[in-house]
Amino acid sequence: MFSKACEYGIKAAIFIATKSYEDKRVSPKEIAEKINSPQAFTAKILQSLVRNDIVSSVKGAYGGFEIQKDRISQVKLAQIVKAIDGDSIYIGCGLGLEKCDENHPCPAHDKFKIVRDELQNMLENTTLEELALNIKSGSAFLKT
């Protein structure tokens, strides 16, 4: 469904959010440990989350990654996916035609559209906040 990069990005953002509730910044090292991902690769993905204003970073000693507390409920899963995987999942054709076009549809267009619209809807209506709360409450996990 999503690329590895995107999976790491989502999980990293969720972990950063849980820590930000406690006013703590986190390093790529700690993030990679907690979400079970390769550290250097994760650091790269964090950079693109920063460039896309999904998380913020503070350089230097005592720095790290964080998310402003009042932003956690504003960030949608869709933003993270779009930042990392682009929007092909939304506008691309399920069978690989140049683009998904009602006027020149692939044979599975109507079927795909329903599923894809639901996916898009889900991503746009799911906030980092609710995902992070699932972690904080102990009812969901970021690894294994």
Partner DNA sequence: TATAAATAGGATAAATTTATCCGAAATAAA
Partner DNA sequence: TTTATTTCGGATAAATTTATCCTATTTATA
Q: Taking phi first (over 0 means left), then psi (-120 to 50 degrees means alpha), and beta for anything else, what does residue 53 get? A: left
**58: partner contacted, choices ligand FES, its own copies, DNA, none (Cβ within 5-8 A by kind):** DNA
Report the site for its own copies in 22-51 (rule: CB under 8 A): none
The packing angle between helices 28-35 and 4-20, to 10°, is: 110
Q: Does 106 bind ligand FES (CB under 6 A)?
A: yes
Q: Taking phi first (over 0 means left), then psi (-120 to 50 degrees means alpha), and beta for anything else, what does residue 66 get? A: beta
Q: Total binding residues for ligand FES by CB under 6 A?
A: 10
Residue range at the interface with DNA (CB under 7 A); choices 54-62, 70-78, 114-122, 135-143: 54-62
* CB nearer ligand FES, residue 77 or residue 93: 93
Q: Does 60 bind its own copies (CB under 8 A)?
A: no
* CB nearer ligand FES, residue 101 or residue 130: 101
Q: Does 111 bind DNA (CB under 7 A)?
A: no
Q: Does 34 bind ligand FES (CB under 6 A)?
A: no
Which one, of 48, 2, 7, 10, lies nearest residue 128 by Cα? 10
Which one, of 49, 15, 48, lies nearest residue 136 by Cα? 15
Half-sphere exposure for 143 (CA within 13 Å, toward CB): 11
d(CA 17, CA 24): 9
Contacts with ligand FES by CB under 6 A lie at 93-95, 97, 100-101, 105-106, 109, 112
Contacts with DNA by CB under 7 A lie at 3-5, 8, 25-29, 37-41, 43-44, 46-47, 50-51, 57-65
